Chain A
Amino acid sequence: MGRDGDVRPQDEVVYLVAGLADLVMGGMRDATRRLPGLTAVREELRARGELALKRTGPSSEAHMEVLARRVAERNSHG
């Protein structure tokens, strides 16, 4: 997946649309599996999705979660 940097922004939109289509056609999964073109698109989309999540996914927790745990800990001690 080293070509991630070369992908143009409009391609990204195409993948997102394809991703939506993939969701919509969830019920027709068997049929799409038999079409090599769509399978390739789906695999590409999945791989891109994984990369996108790694790239932009939040690495830390919600700020409020940290505070809430501290309060919960304090309450359990007191």
Chain B
Amino acid sequence: MTTYTDEYMDGLRLKGDELADATVEALFGSGEVARFNTLMRWFTTSGQALPEGLPDAASDYLRATATPPEWVDWGVMEQARRFFIDNDVHISTALSFAAMPACYLVPHGAALLSATHSLNYPSRRMAETGQFTVYLMQPSAFEAGGRFLPAAQKVRLLHASIRRHLRQEGRWPEPVPICQEDMLGALMMFSVQVLDALHRLGVHMTTDGAEAYYYAWRVVGTILGCDPATIPPDLRAAREFSDRYMIRHMGPSPEGAHLTRQLIQMYEEVVPGTVLDPVVPALIRFLVGDTAADWLEVPRSGWDSLTKIAPALLGALERFEDRGLWASQLSDRLGRLVTVLELSSLTRGRVMHYAIPEELKRDYGVPSGSARWTPPPPIDPVIVHRA
């Protein structure tokens, strides 16, 4: 059985996100992007009145996307939330060290991420993804006062604007940047591939839990502008789409290796001390395997064999949790603390705003034809000493 043929996937490469693309086009056409971004900084929660003075195209879009899809089964979403809470540390680990490297394994994806990466603040993308996931898993994510939907509405426009910039500047070799196939591919990385990583880490999952987690990402995909008719309906279909997508596109690239190096460095900065530094590359290697890790130029270290005990340690922790309520509460709290610390060290306490970039160069540090200004190097240490 092959549902996802090459012809089918090729068709998805020609589609963007009509609604968001049209909205962004209208905003740029009337020169209202800056005003929109300013007004939208105060628009952060569902049910909040739209800011006065919003351009028409923007308010139409915000109204059309203000509610989650009608077909959402809220019982399954609640199951997904519990699955996320039970496994928060493991899921964060899988997102950082399996899903992000998987994005870098797709050369054209790596090229896009590296073209839109903030050079001043490389961890920004991780912070944005992290905060997005935390918003998603709040009990009130989709209710009035929830922060998830407004964040998703902004992310969808952000994607549309990057699509527009790259297309306009003729910097994308294909007809559509961030096409439907790539959006679905990314959705697979954050869903079924995260479950692969949890499995590899020895995390015990129930079928219902895993399916609910996938269901939540189907909802997220729809909200972020994937065509719901094309999102694989269950984990079996997701497996097929995910594998087909990776086999079609995965491979080594200089951008992929560069982004991986940045990811590793970022975690080395976040984790205090240097003793644990080699753990991150070892963990990535363990989760994505040697062939892919070599493509990404993940350094080898003596920790590589040691990482193999991670499943044993996690297994012991799970059996400790099974000991009773106090043990599981203690370990839950530790988990929550780790997730919060991990995220707040990335966001540095900031709320991410997902503004529409007016131009890629200024907002995302994309190098243009002219040379980039860099701060002068520090003055000569000898002179400092004499002074």
Residues of A within 8 A of B (CB): 9-10, 12-13, 16, 49, 52-53, 55-58, 61-72, 74-75
Question: Known pairs A12-B320, A56-B314. 20 more at Cβ < 8 A?
Answer: A9-B319, A12-B319, A49-B309, A52-B312, A52-B315, A52-B316, A57-B308, A58-B200, A58-B202, A58-B308, A58-B311, A62-B287, A63-B200, A63-B289, A64-B105, A65-B292, A66-B289, A67-B247, A68-B288, A71-B251
| Total of A-B residue pairs, C-beta within 8 Å | 87
Distance in Å from the Cβ of A75 to the closest Cβ of chain B? 7
- Smallest CB-CB separation from A15: which chain B residue? B316
Distance in Å from the Cβ of A17 to the closest Cβ of chain B? 11
A64 near B289 (CB under 8 angstroms)? yes
- Smallest CB-CB separation from A74: which chain B residue? B247
Indicate which residue in A9, A13, A53, A62 contacts B286 across the interface (CB closer than 8 Å): A62
Sample 25 A-B pairs with CB under 8 A, ordered by A number: A9-B319, A9-B322, A10-B320, A10-B323, A13-B316, A49-B312, A52-B309, A52-B312, A56-B312, A56-B314, A57-B312, A58-B308, A62-B196, A62-B286, A62-B288, A62-B289, A64-B98, A64-B288, A65-B288, A65-B289, A65-B292, A67-B243, A67-B250, A71-B247, A72-B291
Chain A to chain B: the 9 pairs with minimum beta-carbon distance, closest first: A65-B289, A62-B289, A68-B291, A56-B315, A52-B312, A68-B292, A63-B196, A64-B288, A9-B323
Distance between Cα atoms of A16 and B317 in the complex (Å): 10
Q: B246: CB under 8 A from chain A?
A: yes
Distance in Å from the Cβ of A20 to the closest Cβ of chain B? 11
Distance between Cα atoms of A12 and B317 in the complex (Å): 9
A75 near B316 (CB under 8 angstroms)? no
How would you classify the secondary structure of chain A's contact residues: helix, strand, loop or mixed?
Answer: helix
- Smallest CB-CB separation from A13: which chain B residue? B320
Q: Which residues of B contact A74 (CB under 8 A)?
A: 247
| Residue of A12, A55, A56, A65 with most chain B CB atoms under a 10 A cut-off | A56
**Which of the four size classes fits the interface of chain B?**
20 to 34
Distance in Å from the Cβ of B238 to the closest Cβ of chain A? 12
Residues of B within 8 A of A (CB): 98, 102, 105, 193, 196, 200, 202, 243, 246-247, 250-251, 286-292, 295, 308-309, 311-316, 319-320, 322-323, 327
Distance between Cα atoms of A16 and B318 in the complex (Å): 13
How would you classify the secondary structure of chain B's contact residues: helix, strand, loop or mixed?
Answer: helix
Q: Which residues of B contact A69 (CB under 8 A)?
A: 291
Q: Which residues of A contact B286 (CB under 8 A)?
A: 62
Distance between Cα atoms of A64 and B105 in the complex (Å): 10
Q: Which residues of A contact B247 (CB under 8 A)?
A: 67, 70-71, 74
Indicate which residue in A13, A64, A75 contacts B246 across the interface (CB closer than 8 Å): A64
- Smallest CB-CB separation from B251: which chain A residue? A71
Q: Which residues of A contact B319 (CB under 8 A)?
A: 9, 12
Whether A61 touches B322, Cβ cut-off 8 Å, given contacts A52-B312, A67-B247, A68-B295, is no
Indicate which residue in B289, B311, B320, B327 contacts A56 across the interface (CB closer than 8 Å): B311
Q: Which residues of B contact A10 (CB under 8 A)?
A: 320, 323
Distance in Å from the Cβ of B316 to the closest Cβ of chain A? 5
Q: Which residues of A contact B295 (CB under 8 A)?
A: 68
Q: Which residues of B contact A70 (CB under 8 A)?
A: 247
A12 near B291 (CB under 8 angstroms)? no
Distance in Å from the Cβ of B250 to the closest Cβ of chain A? 6
B290 near A65 (CB under 8 angstroms)? yes
| Residue of A13, A52, A64 with most chain B CB atoms under a 10 A cut-off | A64
Distance between Cα atoms of A55 and B322 in the complex (Å): 17
Distance between Cα atoms of A56 and B196 in the complex (Å): 16
Distance between Cα atoms of A67 and B240 in the complex (Å): 12
A16 near B308 (CB under 8 angstroms)? no
- Smallest CB-CB separation from A12: which chain B residue? B316
| Residue of A61, A63, A65, A71 with most chain B CB atoms under a 10 A cut-off | A63
Indicate which residue in A13, A52, A71 contacts B250 across the interface (CB closer than 8 Å): A71
Distance in Å from the Cβ of A18 to the closest Cβ of chain B? 13
Distance in Å from the Cβ of B287 to the closest Cβ of chain A? 6
Distance between Cα atoms of A53 and B305 in the complex (Å): 12
Distance between Cα atoms of A76 and B134 in the complex (Å): 42
